[in-house]
Amino acid sequence: MPITDQFKDNKSLALTKRLIPWTICVLLPMALIHSFFYPLPFSPSPKTDLPHSTNNNITYRSSLSASPPSSAEKGKTKETKCDYCNGEWVSDSGSPLYNDTTCGTIKEGRNCITHGRPESGYLHWRWKPTQCNLPRFEPQTFLQHIKNKHVAFVGDSMARNQLESLLCMLATASTPNLVYNHKTGKDNQFSRWHFPSHNASVSLYWSPFLVHGVEKSSTNPNNNLYLDHVDERWANDMDQMDLIVLSFGHWLLLPAVYHEGDSVLGCHYCPGLNHTEIGFYIVLRKALRTTLNSIIERRGDKGNGIDVIVTTFSPHHFEGEWDKAGACPKTKPYRNAEKQLEGMDAEMRKIEIEEVEYAKAKAKRRLRLEALDVTKLALLRPDGHPGPYMNPFPFVNGNAGSVQNDCVHWCLPGPIDTWNEILLEMMKKWEKQSRNED
């Protein structure tokens, strides 16, 4: 199993053992610290509409079939362009494709129904892009698209959240086998599932910075990031990947020292160290550029080509303190006009979109690259997080006044299923373009 090679001689893996509790215990309060106490010099986005990008200006084929259309069908398919990132969550009486009994891959903390979340209204909303309809996820069609292929999700726990959603939806059509698993603590960090029905593989690579990073430890209070070196724990396997979904960003809010070349570029939140504070926007940009550059260099004109999706930043919805009841109490989505994309969320998204565009301009023929621009639709779903239901039955012994909340990740099933519906539309668009080129 070649995937195991990457773990040999990897000292940093030993450190990761300590880091999983971090995701919950430090990431969440840090998100608060940064948004409330550590304002960065961004200018709020104008109160107009979301800045437009052409990234999600996707061809929508209205007649969808489980198999690719025949050439006879091709001619008469009506096409409309659709921008999937602008729209509205509309109420929908339908039910999610799956529940906790239909798939065994949901991480504990995302399993809101099993953990006793009492209201289920959050399950009955559908994303309605302004210009078109987003088709319900079709597991068979997705599996057709990844037949004989390997899809890798690379990034932090948001990448894992999206992967688990996808696996649960695909599992309604075909049962995957877990063929590789490297577990640290309670969490899968490097895992691979295989769908024998389609010889398709879906895998997870834990890499919260995408570039090489040494995560903090008892002897070092900061993360150390090496911004000009891609993280080889995933990049080593790049040759075997056909589609890479990158999703990261939240870990950049944590204290860190940033290295470039042989020198320290600066740091973020490192009192006591004599480094220049440079914030994390420039770090997001550099880390993504290094990552996309390395994919272009290694795979841009080799083999059967590679597809790359960058899932944009997904906002948190903390309204109160993270360890008190009611941290993210909303039970309904926002209306589109109710909530502007601004501040850090807007800035993170903008940088990611810009870097995707920058890389696209350089990309060679065999590399396809798009942003999966979910920031706005995620922003509108304050109701979709586990909140206190990250733990089972948090109020069963009465409310002790102190309860942990997760207002960052998404319940499964939940809004994040929509990310994968859009991903499927992007894959259909690519498929259609490549047929037209033939």
Ligand X SMILES: *[C@@H]1O[C@H](CO)[C@@H](O)[C@H](O)[C@H]1NC(C)=O
Q: Supply the residues annotated as catalytic.
A: 157, 406, 409
Least separation in angstroms between residue 271's CB and ligand X is 13
Choosing from 34, 110, 117, 150, the residue that interacts with ligand X (CB under 6 A) is 150
Q: Which is nearer to ligand X, 151 or 159 (CB)?
A: 151
Choosing from 101, 219, 397, 436, the residue that interacts with ligand X (CB under 6 A) is 101
Long-range contacts of 34-41 (CB under 8 A, 24+ apart): 34/253, 34/344, 35/316, 35/318, 35/343, 35/344, 38/269, 40/279, 40/280, 40/281, 40/344, 40/347, 41/279
Q: What's the angle, vertex CA 350, arms to CA 348 and CA 354, rounded to 5?
A: 120
Q: What is the footprint of ligand X within residues 50-89 (CB under 6 A)?
A: 52, 54, 57, 81, 83
* Alpha-carbon distances, residue 364 vs 288, 352, 431 (angstroms): 17, 20, 18
The CA-based dihedral angle spanning residues 37, 41, 47, 48, taken in that order and rounded to the nearest 10 degrees = -140
Q: Which is nearer to ligand X, 123 or 159 (CB)?
A: 123
Q: Which is nearer to ligand X, 284 or 369 (CB)?
A: 369
User: Regarding beta strands 243-247 and 256-260, do their DSSP bridges make them parallel or antiparallel, or are they unpaired?
Assistant: unpaired
**Judged by CB under 6 A, which stretch of 95-103, 292-300, 391-399, 424-432 contacts ligand X?**
95-103
- Helix 343-362 crosses helix 281-299 at what angle (to 10 degrees)? 20
Choosing from 102, 174, 197, 391, the residue that interacts with ligand X (CB under 6 A) is 102
Q: Build a one-symbol-per-residue string for 180-199: x at contacts with ligand X by CB under 6 A, - elsewhere.
A: -------------------x
Least separation in angstroms between residue 190's CB and ligand X is 16
The alpha-helical segments, DSSP class H, found in 221-374 are 232-235, 281-299, 343-362
Residues shown for the chain:
438
Q: Which is nearer to ligand X, 242 or 352 (CB)?
A: 242
**Judged by CB under 6 A, which stretch of 94-102, 361-369, 412-420, 425-433 contacts ligand X?**
94-102
SS3 79: strand
Whether the CB-CB separation of 358 and 418 falls below 8 Å is answered with: no
**With CB under 6 A, what is the number of residues at the site for ligand X?**
14
CA atoms lying within 13 Å on the CB side of residue 226: 11
Q: Build a one-symbol-per-residue string for 335-374: x at contacts with ligand X by CB under 6 A, - elsewhere.
A: ----------------------------------------
Q: Which is nearer to ligand X, 39 or 221 (CB)?
A: 221
Q: Which is nearer to ligand X, 101 or 177 (CB)?
A: 101
Least separation in angstroms between residue 131's CB and ligand X is 9
Least separation in angstroms between residue 265's CB and ligand X is 13
The alpha-helical segments, DSSP class H, found in 59-133 are 71-76
C-alpha closest to that of 385 among 203, 122, 51? 122
C-alpha closest to that of 344 among 27, 26, 38? 38
Confirm or reject binding of residue 130 to ligand X (CB under 6 A): no
CA atoms lying within 13 Å on the CB side of residue 241: 28
Q: Which is nearer to ligand X, 43 or 101 (CB)?
A: 101
User: Regarding beta strands 79-83 and 57-61, do their DSSP bridges make them parallel or antiparallel, or are they unpaired?
Assistant: antiparallel
Distance CA 213, CA 222 (A): 11
Confirm or reject binding of residue 175 to ligand X (CB under 6 A): no
Least separation in angstroms between residue 102's CB and ligand X is 4
Choosing from 107, 149, 298, 330, the residue that interacts with ligand X (CB under 6 A) is 149
Confirm or reject binding of residue 433 to ligand X (CB under 6 A): no
Least separation in angstroms between residue 96's CB and ligand X is 9
Q: Which residues contact 209 (CB under 8 A, 6 or more apart)?
A: 223, 225, 231, 248, 251, 252, 287
Least separation in angstroms between residue 357's CB and ligand X is 12
Q: Which is nearer to ligand X, 32 or 308 (CB)?
A: 308
User: Regarding beta strands 57-61 and 150-155, do their DSSP bridges make them parallel or antiparallel, or are they unpaired?
Assistant: unpaired
Choosing from 99, 105, 120, 184, the residue that interacts with ligand X (CB under 6 A) is 99
Q: Which is nearer to ligand X, 169 or 253 (CB)?
A: 169
**Judged by CB under 6 A, which stretch of 97-105, 265-273, 295-303, 337-345 contacts ligand X?**
97-105
Distance CA 319, CA 325 (A): 11
Least separation in angstroms between residue 290's CB and ligand X is 25
Confirm or reject binding of residue 114 to ligand X (CB under 6 A): no
Task: Output the six-digit token pair for 302.
Answer: 């080799």
Confirm or reject binding of residue 434 to ligand X (CB under 6 A): no
Distance CA 57, CA 53 (A): 8
Least separation in angstroms between residue 406's CB and ligand X is 22
Query: Can you give the binding site for ligand X, defined by CB under 6 A?
Result: 52, 54, 57, 81, 83, 99, 101-102, 148-150, 199, 201, 274
